[in-house]
Amino acid sequence: MEDMLTYLGIESIDELFEDIPEKMRTGGLALPDAMEEREVEERIRALLAENKSFFEMPSFLPILKPHYIPPAVDEIVARQEFYTSYTPYQAEASQGMLQALFEYQSVVAELTGMEVANVSMYDSATALGEAALMAHRITGRKKILVPRAMFWHKRSVLENYARGAALEIIEIDHGEDGLMKLNFSGDDIAAIYIENPNFFGIIDRRYDELSKIKERTGALLIAGIDPLHLALFHPPSHYHADIVIGEGYLGNPMNFGGPLLGIFASKKQYLRQMPGRIIGATVDREGKRAFCMTLQTREQHIRRGKATSNICSNQALCCISFLAYVALLGSGGLRGVALQNMENAHYMAERLKEVGFEMPFDAPFFNEFVVTCPLEGKELNKRLLARGMYGGLPIDRYVAKGMLFGVTEMHTRELMDEAVETMVEVVA
């Protein structure tokens, strides 16, 4: 230790870490005494036994909602060609992996209606940050307009991305209908970010207005989407979105919040400004179909001044899971799942209204919706948790006593009825 400090020219460990803010320091790790390997395994099993599955403790939280994954998806993904493959951004990546990622891009392009898609970002938050930087590169402008009502982790990541480029993040409030107001004006707007469905789960059908706002401001339109929602409703190309981002959860288990993948697609004219990697189809010297890394525009591959991003990679295996899920279900199966999600959410909303909960927004929604509760959201969830259940997400910052519920095909009517009855009991 002393030799290390002397070599670095400092006198103490505290001096070594002085650049880290005081509030971020742990003060040292309280590590337990060493154990034998068998004891470690037993301890890990005991900790894992404390976890509760959705069936043991049902939840109505948004974003991380449970979806059924056919066993065939796991079987495909577990093939060693996919499961052990290093994240492929080098030229030596196998043809099989390149083809799978090419097909993933094709699926995303078809779902979103966009002309090109990359092999994904880390998640929707990083995809949004990259989209903002991309809009800045294309337009040369500095302002990014976003809805005030959006998930805070996305806003935080966006701010971190914007800081280095000195972009200005401007929040736009929502109206009484729960939708982002579109009556703004101004210059130097690089991009307008809208979500569809939005934070409140509302489906935005103002297609003409969204198209006209681009003409009025000269800004790019970034659309945040739910890929399952696109199985039923118009893709963002319908209202002339320039860039599309989203959370690619299809086929991927919840995994306590990750890993997932960030969908990223755009118009073909902006292809060169896209971050990440893009797989292309071509022919080899024998005239046979072949796949190759068409673009890999990060700074490790090309000159830094020409790079679009320094993002390293995505979770390629998550892309394969997404692809396997969509391919197994097909367009008809995907529509069926989406329809079941929507029907279940509307059933749950009606049941809650019957027992005294109110819906602040009279607007169409997909599989997430807002209700106002007789109790504060945190208190309601505390009481539900004691009964082996978790409610929605409290969103008091946007709606007084509001809770955002998420419902999928996994929420049976019996489960929803039981949840409503339990809420009535804990509120009484």
CATH classification number, 71-325, choose in 3.30.420.40, 3.40.640.10, 3.40.50.1980, 2.40.128.50: 3.40.640.10
Each domain of the chain, given as residue ranges in start order, spans 71-325, 330-427
For 124-182, where are the E strands, in sequence order? 143-147, 168-172
Residues 6+ apart with CB under 8 A from 320: 76, 77, 82, 100, 101, 104
**Tell me, what's the pLDDT at 52?**
85
Q: Which CATH class is domain 330-427?
A: alpha beta
Residue 404 is which amino acid? L
Supply the pTM of this predicted model: 0.89
Q: Are 334 and 279 in contact (CB under 8 A)?
A: no
Distance between CA atoms of residues 366 and 6, nearest Å: 62
Q: Which has the closest alpha carbon to 135: 217, 77, 24?
A: 217
- Ranges under pLDDT 70 in the chain: 85-92, 297-305, 312-314
**3-state helix/strand/coil string of 170-226:** EEECECCCCCECCCCCCCCEEEEEEEECCCCCECCCCHHHHHHHHHHHCCEEEEEEC
Q: What is the pLDDT of residues 354-408, one digit of tens each?
A: 999 999 999 999 999 999 998 898 999 999 999 999 999 999 999 999 999 999 9
Q: Which has the closest alpha carbon to 119: 302, 316, 325, 327?
A: 316
Q: Which has the closest alpha carbon to 105: 283, 264, 285?
A: 264
Distance between CA atoms of residues 221 and 213, nearest Å: 9
Residue 154 is which amino acid? K
Which CA distances in Å does 345 have to 350, 365, 367?
A: 9, 8, 5
Q: Could you say which DSSP state residue 33 is in?
A: P
Residues 6+ apart with CB under 8 A from 159: 169
**Tell me, what's the pLDDT at 67?**
96
